[in-house]
Every structure is written in structure tokens, then in C-alpha cells.
Homo-oligomer: A and B are copies of this chain.
Amino acid sequence: MPDILSPDSVGLVTPQTHQFTTSLSLECGRSLPNYQIVYETYGKLNERCSNAVLICHALSGDHHAAGYYTMHDKKSGWWDTCIGPGKPIDTNRFFVVSLNNLGGCRGSTGPNTINLDTGQPYGPDFPIVTVRDWVRCQARLGDVLGITQWAAVIGGSLGGMQALQWAIDYPKHVRHALVIAGAPKLSAQNIAFNEVARQAIMNDPEFYAGHYYQHNAIPRQGLMLARMLGHITYLSDESMRQKFGRELREGKVKFGFDVEFQVESYLRYQGRTFVDRFDANTYLLMTKALDYFDPASEHDNNLAAALAGVQAKFLVVSFTSDWRFPPERSREIVKALLTNKKQVTYAEVKAQDGHDAFLMPIPHYTQVFQAYMQKIEIPGEK
């Protein structure tokens, strides 16, 4: 049976688009007079609009979180392991909303869409967007859908940062925040990796200062390098060892600069395919949103103070081999919540898959996730 017909799949899905015509003020000081957001929904919104769950995507994610677009799709949405009937985010109970963030490249207004003022793609003129901007934009989408309070806002990695920001900025509008493989801010090392990725893209001669669309060009090599590098940080040393070891692609050393080790072949492939589905200007924007995220900075670097007003209950999950956002970073969030006597469940999942673990069907993780979601009360639920 193809996965699409499996009883725990949301099956065929269709993205929808909403045009916003009220100007959105951004943290950078600029504003967008109009913009569109593409999103998908799974499950059914109940009468009291009390069962809505918002999915926030990470750096290279989009609105296609679950299901399939056609019967022939080989790949499902990016979080299909966790969204569907009977899965942790159970579409039998919850109405799930998943959007492509502003500045994205998969249908929402971003650098690769036309700026109505100029008739040209925004390119590098697209304003820098922050996690807080995204959250505000997501709140507006909620308004459109008639959702004033989310049963849960959920995200992994950069998505987890959005869930955290939701609880801070809209305390009454989030009942549960699920922060998975997240961090309260990037470390210097995290920023450093982002900076190398940006330099790779911006120094690519096909980048044309971000105006590559007009040159029918793509900063292919730069974006490929950025993705290869990102990929190393998503996996763990251990998972790479298990996956590739020092396996040679053709059985013996060739004393040359072509691909020799399996891991090289894998990385080059990952880099190449990424270029076909992702926009370099969006990549730049996403890394900046990551760098800037630091809710404690407005409170003398006191995270507990930043979280003093949250009303949501929290599930925080980290993975032992995640060296991008290691468990210590999640524990900072947990500690700050506990300082405020907030209700928080924390799970440190033993996993060898590094940062990417949040996308994987790891039994302990699935169990914790599912148990937490099952206990979420839905007002009006029979």
C-alpha cells in the first residue's frame, strides 16, 4: 500500500493562499503594504475554533508539512512523521495550520516574488524579517481563519523559536507551546556557521548582489556550499559515522579530487538538489532571523524576565546528539520557565541523529510528543 493511502496519512492536500492588504510593520522599521501567505490545513476546525494547532517551520521548511499533493508524490510533507490521524499531532482531534513564512520562497511573499511597486522581484530589497515578525504575520493568518487562540503552537529548531516567541508576544492566544530542538538564542558558533554560509552565497559571482533573477542566474555554488555546511551541523558525528563511516565510493583511494568517500557524494548530492528547490535570498533571510532571535536581550539578557508573562504550558524536547542546539540550550528555556513557576514538561531524548532527530520517528520522542498532545484539552470536545 502506498504511504498516501495509509490510514495515518492526511492523504492528498492542497495549499491555499491568502492576500493580506493591511500593511505589516516589521521590526527592521520597514513595512509591507501587501503580501500573500501560502498555507495548508489538515483536520477540521471545530465549532468553537478551539482545536487549532499552528506548525512553524525551520530554516529550509515550508507550508507542506504533511500529506501529498498528487497520488504520484514520492515524498510527503516534511513533518509527516508527526502529523496525521493517530500521530502525535492527531488530525482526528486537531485542526492543523502550516504556513510558509514571510520571506520564504515557496509561495509566500519573499525575495523571489514580484514587488508590486516595481514590477520586479524583491530580491535583496526584501526587508529583513525576524521571528517576531513571523509570529505577528501568523497571528494575522489566525484571524483570517477565525482562530483567536491556538490549542498549541509547535515547531522544531527555528520553528521552536517561533513557538517561544508566540508565548511571549501573545500570552493569551497560546494554550501550549512546544519547543523542539530549540534554543533561546544562537551561540557565537551558530552565528559563525551562518556567516560562512552567507559569505558563500554572497560571494558567488552569480549572486549579482541579490539581483540574480534579472540575470537569469542562480548563485548555485554558494547555495550548495551553504547547504552542505548546514547539513553537517544537522547530523551528529556519530550518525555520520554510522551512515557513511569512511566508506569509499569505488572501494579504493584514487589520489584525486573527485568524490572518493561516500560522505562526499552524499553532501554534494544534498547541496545540488537543494539549489533546485530553495532560493538563496531566502536562505540569507532565514539565517539572519536565526542570528537575531534573542528574546532575553530586551530584558538585560535575563531569559526568565523575558518569559515572566507567558501563560502557555510548555513541552520542551531536546536530543542528546544535537550539537547545533544541544540539550543545555533547551534546559536554559526550561530553567527560565521554572524560575517563573510556569508549567513545563521537559524530555531529553537519547538519539544519535543530531539536530535532524526532531524530524525522525524516534520511539521515545514520538511517545512523549503523543502523550503530551493527548493531554491537551479541547474546550467543547465530546
A189 touches which one: B188, B240, B256, B257 (CB < 8 A)? B240
Residues on B with beta carbons closer than 8 Å to the beta carbon of A255? 27-29, 127-128, 288
B292 engages A186 (CB within 8 Å): no
A246 touches which one: B29, B186, B237, B241 (CB < 8 A)? B186
B128 engages A256 (CB within 8 Å): yes
A224 engages B199 (CB within 8 Å): yes
Give Cα A297–Cα B246 distance, bound, in whole angstroms.
10
Residues on B with beta carbons closer than 8 Å to the beta carbon of A236? 189
A225 touches which one: B185, B186, B196, B323 (CB < 8 A)? B196
Tell me, yes or no, whether A229 is within 8 Å of chain B by CB. yes
- Interface stretch, picked from A200-208, A305-313, A341-349, is A200-208
A268 touches which one: B199, B232, B253, B291 (CB < 8 A)? B199
Residues on B with beta carbons closer than 8 Å to the beta carbon of A244? 188
B199 engages A263 (CB within 8 Å): no
B228 engages A196 (CB within 8 Å): yes
Q: Which of A166-201 contact B (CB under 8 A)?
A: 185-189, 191-193, 195-196, 198-200
A241 engages B192 (CB within 8 Å): no
Residue interface mask A110-132, B partner, CB < 8 A = 1: 00000000000000000110000
B294 engages A246 (CB within 8 Å): yes
Residues on B with beta carbons closer than 8 Å to the beta carbon of A245? 188
A200-B225 contact in complex given A246-B294, A292-B253, A294-B246, C-beta closer than 8 Å: yes
Residue interface mask A18-56, B partner, CB < 8 A = 1: 000000000111000000000000000000000000000
Residues on B with beta carbons closer than 8 Å to the beta carbon of A268? 195, 199
The size of the chain A interface, using a CB distance under 8 A, is 54
B291 engages A195 (CB within 8 Å): no
A320 CB to closest chain B CB, in angstroms? 15
Tell me, yes or no, whether A3 is within 8 Å of chain B by CB. no
Residue interface mask A311-327, B partner, CB < 8 A = 1: 00000000000010000
Residues on B with beta carbons closer than 8 Å to the beta carbon of A229? 196, 229
A267 touches which one: B196, B202, B228 (CB < 8 A)? B196
A188-B228 contact in complex given A195-B267, A200-B200, C-beta closer than 8 Å: no
Residues on B with beta carbons closer than 8 Å to the beta carbon of A195? 228, 261, 263-264, 267-268
Which residue of chain B has the shortest Cβ distance to A255 in the bound complex? Answer: B28
A187 touches which one: B189, B224, B241 (CB < 8 A)? B241
Which residue of chain B has the shortest Cβ distance to A228 in the bound complex? Answer: B196
Could you name 7 residue pairs across A and B whose Cβ atoms are closer than 8 Å? A27-B255, A29-B255, A191-B261, A196-B267, A203-B221, A253-B292, A323-B323
